Amino acid sequence: MDITYTKHGDYYYPDLALPPQPTGDIGRFGRMRKKYLKEYQPDTFALMLMENTLTQHLMDIDHEAKEQIELITSQLAQAEGVTEDLKARNQLGWIRAMNSCQVRAEEQVIREIVLS
């Protein structure tokens, strides 16, 4: 590997460049994961930052968390009988039941994926 240098004033500086960063939104769960890594696993956080894998990891975590929440929410709703029929008969009851399913799914995903 050849390193090139650029002269600035009296000094030569190496021409170094970082590999391109993945672009995209890390999302809510990615931000939670980043905070967790920074606070509770600083060595892993620093290593991923140096290896340029942190952003992609956070985007993957966010994507996986959203998929799992959707899957678990639908499974809970089906198990508890939250159907379109209930939605037609009692809209507020359906909203209450779906919100409950969603919150429980998010809690499980945060525990198992984000904070692990």
pLDDT tens for each residue of 21-53? 888 899 999 999 999 999 999 999 999 998 989
Asked if pLDDT for residue 3 goes beyond 90, the answer is: no
Asked if pLDDT for residue 1 goes beyond 80, the answer is: no
Residue 88 lies in a domain: yes
Q: Which domain holds residue 85?
A: 27-114
Give the pLDDT mean for 49-69. Answer: 95
The confidence score (pLDDT) of residue 91 equals: 96
Residue 53 lies in a domain: yes
Name the nearest CA neighbour of 64 among 32, 40, 98, 29. 29
User: pTM of the prediction?
Assistant: 0.81
37 contacts 45 by C-beta, under 8 angstroms: yes
Q: Residue 46 corresponds to which tokens in the numbers above? A: 């620093």
Residue 89 lies in a domain: yes
110 contacts 32 by C-beta, under 8 angstroms: yes
CA 83/CA 71 separation, integer angstroms: 15
The confidence score (pLDDT) of residue 11 equals: 95
Residue 22 lies in a domain: no
Residue 100 lies in a domain: yes
Residue 21 lies in a domain: no
Counting the structural domains of the chain, the total is: 1
Residue 33 lies in a domain: yes
Residue 4 lies in a domain: no
Asked if pLDDT for residue 99 goes beyond 80, the answer is: yes
The confidence score (pLDDT) of residue 35 equals: 98
3-state secondary structure 36-47: HHHHHCHHHHHH
